[in-house]
Structure 1
Amino acid sequence: MKALDSKLNEHFGGKVVRKDLTKLVKGNAIVPIYVLEYLLGQYCATDDEETISRGIETVKNILAKHFVHRDEAQIIKSTIREKGSHRIIDKVSVKLNDKQDQYEAYFANLGLNRVPIADDIIKTHQKLLSSGVWCILTLAYISSDEKDRTPWVIESLKPIQIAGGDIEEYKEGRKAFSKDEWIDILLQTMGLNPEEFSFRSKLLQLTRLVPFVENNYNLMELGPKGTGKSHIFSELSPHGMLISGGEVSKAKLFVNNSSGEIGLVGYWDVVAYDEFAGKSKNTDRGLVDIMKNYMANKSFSRGTQVYGASASMVFVGNTDHTVEYMLNHSNLFDALPKDYYDTAFLDRIHAYLPGWEVQKLRNDMFTSDYGFIVDYLAEILKELRKEDRTHEYAQYFELSDSITTRDKTGIVKTFAGLAKVIYPAGGMNQAESQELLDFAIECRKRVKLQLQKMDDTFEAVDFSYQNKQTKQKVNVETLEVIEYGLPKEVTTQVVSESNSTLSSVQNSQKELLAGQKIIRDNQLGISYNNLFGDYLIDATEITIIDPYIRLPYQLRNLMELISLIYAKKQIGSTIKLHLVTSNNEDFIQGVKGAFNQITDSLASMDIIFSYEFDENIHDRSIQLNNGWKIVLGRGLDIWQKTGGWYDISEYIQERRLCKACEITFLKSEN
């Protein structure tokens, strides 16, 4: 077991589960993960392998005997009739029959309708009145000669969810973990392998949790297919409801004018719209107007009566074009249905997650390590909705006066949500607060820049803030603008967010300057050539210092740099290229063979390659005899993992996602 898994079991024993177990027990049961983990949490919430093995078999038996498959509904009904009563797992919804003055249950898989259910059950579990809740219940069969009386009787019913989590115990347990450890635990809880994600990519995933901890939070994520945009809203929490964007109505979402029944926003913490995008989709313009009012004012009306609700709204969908195309030819809301392509509606969005940055899910991106039982985490997140963390940034930073009230609301709600998720007990330092504030500003700025393209009446906003202690102004830019440039229609002046004396990567000058380039997590468009290709010109002696040149992708990076050195070499000149690295017994023989082969292959190209192993090196740099030294914060390893041989980014550096790093250019005085 990994150290982090052991530590998690030590501090949260009984509340964690191994995340690959759901695959072992699911079989052909079409149920959310939180249903399976509810059962696994009762029998497998341990790190003892023997107990886990027995627990898996127990859960399999429970699902085999009690879970209702639609194609076996008649068998289950027969079993109930023959036994008199039987425990089942099914999705149950309830409606009020005002003619009979009784509540009646509807079973999604069993197919039974209008089964009477006690008022006390409804008072305890009001969500049954919405679109359905997964339940464990005992259903009895009592035959009767009375006309129109159903023989089905609900003897007991319990929604599948933990009754509650001890929020203080959770906060106390959090103190035993570092920021990075806690983020990795949350990723594992979501079923993901944190080793496959950069810090920014982890933030993107965790922002999907913000609607569960923030009341009335409006989130939009548009991007390519296969990135898991809707998964979390259907699988992680029993307090979230995922519906198809084209299947919602005013009555279903807000209030039924005929019956007076409150819709989904009255019962769920999160209402997510799947497949929301699609220009040709038919939508109800009246619904859009009600949504605009609700998203802005947290209320909706029926006649003269006004209702309040706290449900967060999430809109996820697929984009039709690349980011570069949308920035230059349309905008990032381009794929939305025409009735939602409304600046007043879109201005209510607190954060726009760049779904194009989220990699398509591969098998190695899923985890088999431990995470919280999702029901437990869901209850904790629900408790955290009661807290207000929107002002915590203000102890360190002050937002620009030009940021509008609506922009500020979006920024502080995203900041507060991430603070609750990552630092539930508080205690953020200045650097940690700044990480979240930068990200929150970017998510709201992405909305505002697109609104400026769509409507000239939206004025430019200075999305900056000031450090209260140093009085330094910090400007925040969206990553896609850094990569592709600011849209022509937007006149906002963009100032580089770093203290660099260099121009941006896209507009690098031929004049070589000392200074620094800052590369952000997930940034595209970066290559060795556009970073420091011009600095290699006229260098005849080059020393590369990087302690980690041993794994295949690290050797690939070295060969790509050597290829660039050759491309910059003057015809007829000879270059002495020396590598200083370190190694260990596991790799050294294979690496020596690789280096010797490199030496032989370069000899005919007038590049004399040599190498040495030095176990004491830490700094990473390229030293050139033309007067320049390039300090590499991460060495040559500046990119995230590619998808392999058939991923074009394996062959084109500019198409690889970057890791956050800094590169400094120093000029000698001689």
Structure 2
Amino acid sequence: MTELDKKINQHFGGKVVRKDLTKLVKGNAIVPTYVLEYLLGQYCATDDEETIYQGVETVKNIISKHFVHRDEAQMIKSTVREKGTHRIIDKIAVKLNDRKDQYEASFANLGLNKIPIGDSVIKEHKKLLSSGVWCILSLAYYPSDEKDASPWIIENIKPIQVSNVDIDEYKDIRKKFSKEEWIDLLMQSIGLNPKEFTLRSKLLQLTRLVPFVENNYNLIELGPKGTGKSHIYSEMSPHGILISGGEVSKAKLFVNNSSGEIGLVGYWDVVAYDEFAGKTKKSDRGLVDIMKNYMANKSFSRGTQVYGASASMVFVGNTDHSVPHMIKHSNLFDALPKDYYDTAFLDRMHAYVPGWEVQKLRNEMFSSDYGFIVDYLAEILKGLRKDDKTNEYAKYFKLSDSITTRDKTSIAKTFAGLLKVIYPHGELNEQEAKELLDFSIENRKRVKQQLQKMDETFEEVDFSYERISDGKRTVIETLEVLEYGVPATKKTLISDESSVKSEGKNVAEDVPFELEGGQKIIRDNQKGISYDMLLGAYLIGATDIKIIDPYVRLPYQLRNFMEFAKLVTEKKEPGVEVKLHLVTNNNEDYVENAKEAFEQMAYSLEALGILFSYEFDENIHDRSIIMNNDWKIILGRGLDIWQKTGAGTILTNMCKNNDCAKHVK
């Protein structure tokens, strides 16, 4: 086990499971992850290999004997009839038969309908009255001579979900984990390998959990196929339901006027619409109007009565075009059906998750480490819905006065949701709060930018904020605008500790003709970045270059260094020799390979007019490039900007050697 796995088992023993076990037992069973992990949690919530092996076999046996496959329904019915009673796992939905004044259950896979079920069961498990809940139950068969009497009897039934979680204990244990450890634990809990994701990519994944932890939260995610947009809403919680966008009606979603039955928003914490996009899809305009009112006011009415609910709404779908195409020719809501392509409806979205940034899922992106049993996590998130954290950001920051009330509400709800997911104990410092606030603002600004393109009556909004401690102002821009932003007559490069605002077509075009000191910040997942764009202009005229970077040892880091050396050869004058000296650190695992690589580099670069030398210094920490043309470049993360899945924002400061204090932050 990894050190994190050991720590997880130490503090959350019995509440975690190894994530590769789910795939091991699932087989051909079409059953949600939370059902399988509920069973694994009963038998495999341990780090003892023998117990895990026995538990996996037990769960496999339970699935084999008791899970109802549709094509084996008749065989299961026969087994119940012959044995008199039999335990099964199936999805159960219940309706009231008002003619007989009794509740009746239907079985999704077994195919049985109108099976009587006791009132007491419904009082205890009201969600059975919705579109269906996975359950473990004992089904009996007693033939009767009475007319219209059903021989099928539900003897006992238990919805598959963890009960009696201790939220205070969860919050207290959170204090024992660092931010990075906790984020990785959550990533492993949703089945993903955190080593394959940047910090920003992790936040994109965890934002999908916000609807489960925040009441009345409206989220939209559009992007290419195969990125797992709908997976969390169908597999990760018994409190969320995923429905096809084309299968929704006013009665099913809100209230049935004929029967008075409350729809899905009354029973579920999250209602997610799959395959929401598609210009040709038909939709009910009346439904859109009711949804607009509910998403804005948390209430809905049909007829004379007004109802309230707390269900969050999620909309996921596929885009038709690339991001550059949409930005240039239309907008990022371009793929939506006609009736949902409505600025009033879209303005209700608290956040737009850029699905095009989410990588398509590959085998190595799935976790085989320990994470929470998803049903345990689901119950924790449900309990955290009661906490109100919407004003927590105001301890450190003040939003711009030009930001509208709806924008502020959206930003605050995203911030609160992420805080409850990542910092449930409520302890975070100013920098950690800034990370969440920047991300929250960007996801709301993405909505507002598109609305302004769709309807000119939406005014320009200054999405900035001030830090209360010193009054420093930060401007937030969306990543796609930094990469593909529309052309402007005046190109600027405005940056602070974590944001770059560019009015030009691309950040790469914003290098001034006359070099000035300043700071360039490259965001996680930002495309179109090169050493030439960042550093090239500052290398001109330098004949003595010293690079200090403690991490030039792994194969990809050595390749990065050669890319930089190649740039030096391109920027130097023909016939001029340039001294290139590297000061780095190493350890016994990599030092021999590094020495061999450096010797080969020295031989290759000499023919190009580069005199390369190197030294090892175990005491260096800061990373920089010092040149004899009076420029010094302070590197935030060194040359390591193209690693496989690196995390963190990359800072690059350019300043004159004798004037660094003004520019280094």
Do these two structures clear the TM 0.5 threshold for a shared fold by scoring above it?
yes
Residue in structure 1 matched with residue 654 of structure 2 by the alignment: 665
Q: Distance in 1 between matches of 2:591 and 2:83?
A: 69
1:340-419 equivalence runs, <5 A: 340-419=340-419
- Kindly state the Cα deviation for residue 129 of structure 1 after the two structures are TM-superposed: 1.0
3-state SS, counterpart of residue 62 of structure 2: helix
Q: CA deviation at 1:609?
A: 2.2
Cα 1:497–1:444 shift into 2, 3 Å:
farther
Pick which of 622-631 and 447-456 moved more.
622-631
> Please, which moves more after superposition, 589-598 or 387-396?
589-598
Contact 1:187 1:202 in 2 (8 A): yes
Partner deviation per Cα, 1:455-481 (whole Å, 9 max, x = no partner): 011111111222222122222221222
Supply the distance in 1 between the matched residues of 2:452 and 2:105 (Cα, whole angstroms): 49
In the alignment, which residue of structure 2 is the partner of 1:542? Answer: 545
Deviations 1:501-540 (A, max 9, x none): 9985432112111121122222222110000101111222
Segment of structure 1 superposing worse, 252-261 or 478-487: 478-487
Deviation at 1:498, TM superposition (A): 4.7
CA deviation after TM superposition for structure 1 residue 59, in Å: 0.6
Counterparts of 2:61 and 2:409 in 1: how far apart (Å)?
49
Residue 42 (structure 1) shift: 0.6
Q: Secondary structure at the match of 1:466?
A: strand
- 1:609 lines up with 2:612 in the alignment: yes
Residue type at the aligned position of 1:27: G
**Which amino acid is the alignment partner of residue 631 of structure 1?**
I
Please give the per-residue CA displacement for 1:198-245, whole angstroms capped at 9, x wherever unaligned. Answer: 111111111111100111100001111111111111111000000111
Q: Secondary structure at the match of 1:446?
A: helix
Partners in 1 of 2:19 and 2:401 — Cα distance?
A: 46
**CA displacement 1:132-181 (0-9 Å, x = unmatched):** 10000000000112222211100000000012311111111111111111
Per-residue deviation, 1:74: 1.1
Task: Please name the residue that 1:508 is paired with.
Answer: 511
**Counterpart residue identity of residue 260, structure 1:** G
CA spacing shift, 1:499–1:585, aligned 2, 3 Å? closer
Distance 1:622 1:96 in 2: 74
Q: Which letter does structure 1 place at the counterpart of 2:512?
A: Q
CA distance in 2, matches of 1:169, 1:584: 41
The equivalent residue for 1:583 is 586
Structure 1 39/502 Cα, relative in aligned 2: closer, same or farther at 3 Å? closer
> Which whole-Å CA distance do the structure 2 matches of 1:500 and 1:152 have between them?
64
Distance in structure 2 (CA, Å) of the matches to 1:223 and 1:659: 23
Q: Secondary structure at the match of 1:371?
A: strand
Shift of residue 413 of structure 1? 0.6
Which moves more between the two structures, 570-579 or 65-74? 570-579
SS in 1 for 2:338: coil
In structure 2, what is the equivalent of residue 266 of structure 1? 266
Alignment of 1:279-294 (within 5 A): 279-294=279-294
The aligned residue for residue 216 of structure 2 is 216
Which residue of 2 is the match for residue 484 of structure 1? 484
Question: 8 Å contact 1:66–1:87 — kept in the other structure?
Answer: yes
In 1, the alpha carbon distance for the partners of 2:56 and 2:479 equals 45
The alpha-carbon deviation at position 375 of structure 1 amounts to 0.6
Distance in 1 separating the partners of 2:323 and 2:197: 21
3-state SS of 1:586 partner: coil
After superposition, the Cα gap between the structure-2 partners of 1:294 and 1:105, relative to the gap in structure 1 and judged at 3 Å, is: same
Whole-angstrom distance in 1 between the partners of 2:435 and 2:632: 30
3-state SS of paired residue (2:339): coil
C-alpha spacing 1:161/1:500, structure 2 compared with 1 (3 Å): closer
User: Could you say what secondary structure the match of 1:530 adopts?
Assistant: helix
Is the counterpart of residue 593 in structure 1 residue 582 in structure 2?
no
Q: Determine the C-alpha separation between the residues in 2 that align with 1:259 and 1:404.
A: 40
- Report the counterpart of residue 7 of structure 2 in structure 1: 7
Match of 1:653 in 2: none
SS of alignment partner, residue 594 of structure 1: helix
Distance (Å, rounded) in 1 between the aligned partners of 2:77 and 2:63 = 16
Alpha-carbon contact 1:639-1:658 (below 8 Å) kept: no
Matched, 1:110 2:110: yes
Aligned length, in residue pairs:
654
TM-aligned CA distance change 1:46 to 1:377, over 3 Å: same
Task: Report SS of the residue matched to 1:631.
Answer: strand
Aligned pair 1:567/2:556, yes or no? no
Assess if the C-alpha contact under 8 Å between 2:482 and 2:500 holds in 1: no
Q: What CA distance in whole angstroms lies between the structure 1 residues aligned with 2:592 and 2:163?
A: 58
Aligned partner of 1:433 in structure 2 is 433
Counterpart-to-counterpart distance in 1, 2:648 and 2:509: 18
Whether the aligned pair in 2 keeps the contact of 1:500 and 1:516 (CA below 8 Å) is: no
Are the counterparts in 2 of residues 501 and 516 from structure 1 also a CA contact under 8 Å? no
* Cross-structure match for 2:249: 249
**Against the structure 1 CA distance between its residues 304 and 483, is the aligned structure 2 distance closer, same or farther, given a 3 Å change threshold?**
same
Amino acid at match of 1:158: K
- 1:638–1:661 contact (8 Å) kept in structure 2: yes
Instruction: Return 5+ residue gaps in structure 2 as ranges.
Output: 660-665
Task: Please show how residues 158-307 of structure 1 align to structure 2 within 5 Å.
Answer: 158-307=158-307
Question: Which residue identity lines up with residue 533 of structure 1 in the other structure?
Answer: G
Match of 1:28 in 2: 28
Provide the alpha-carbon RMSD of the alignment: 2.0
Deviation track 1:606-631 (CA, whole Å, cap 9, x = no partner) reads 22222222222222222222221211
**Are 1:519 and 1:659, in contact at CA under 8 Å, matched by a contact in 2?**
no
The structural deviation recorded for 1:497 is 4.3
User: What's the CA shift string for 1:288-319, capped at 9, x where partnerless?
Assistant: 11111110111111211111111000001111
TM superposition shift of 1:500: 9.7
Cα distance in 2 for residues equivalent to 1:658 and 1:485: 24
DSSP-derived class of the 1:246 partner: helix
Distance 2:548 2:427 in 1: 38
Q: Provide the C-alpha distance between the structure 2 equivalents of 1:103 and 1:487, rounded to a whole number of angstroms.
A: 63
1:517 is the counterpart of 2:520 = yes
Displacement of 1:566: 1.6
Alpha-carbon distance in 1 for matches of 2:295, 2:496: 31
Correspondence for 1:422: 422
Give the AA of the match of 1:666. Answer: C
**Which one is further off, 232-241 or 625-634?**
625-634
Partner of residue 649, structure 1: none
Q: Any idea what SS the aligned residue of 2:88 has?
A: strand
SS at match of 1:99: coil
Q: CA deviation at 1:486?
A: 4.9
Structure 1 residues 499 and 377: CA distance shift in structure 2, 3 A: closer
Aligned counterpart, 1:100: 100
Tell me the residue number matched to 1:650: none
Distance of aligned partners of 1:207 and 1:499 in 2 relative to their CA distance in 1, 3 Å threshold: closer
Secondary structure of 1:339's aligned partner:
helix
CA distance in 2, matches of 1:638, 1:13: 38
Hey, what does 1:620 align to over in structure 2? 623
Quote the offset at 1:62 in angstroms: 0.7
Post-superposition offset of 1:659: 4.6
1:530 to 529, 533, 541: 533
For residue 80 of structure 2, what is the aligned residue in structure 1? 80
The worse-fitting range, judged by mean Cα deviation, of 564-573 and 278-287 is: 564-573
Give the letter for the 2:637 counterpart: R
Distance between the aligned counterparts of 2:368 and 2:609, measured in 1? Answer: 50
Deviation at 1:541, TM superposition (A): 2.1
Structure 1 residue 499: Cα displacement: 9.3
Q: CA deviation at 1:380?
A: 0.8
Work out the CA distance in 2 between the residues paired with 1:228 and 1:636.
32
- In structure 1, stretches of 5+ residues that fail to align are 643-656
For residues 590 and 668 of structure 1, the distance between their equivalents in structure 2, rounded to whole angstroms, comes to 34
- Tell me the equivalent position of 2:662: none
Q: Distance in 1 between matches of 2:326 and 2:394?
A: 35
CA–CA distance in 2 between the matches of 1:250 and 1:60? 40
Q: Distance in 2 between matches of 1:205 and 1:336?
A: 22
Further displaced range: 453-462 or 566-575: 566-575
Q: TM-score, normalised by structure 1?
A: 0.94
Say whether the 8 Å CA contact 2:199–2:647 is kept in structure 1. no
- In 2 relative to 1, CA 114–499 (structure 1 residues): closer, same or farther, beyond 3 Å? closer
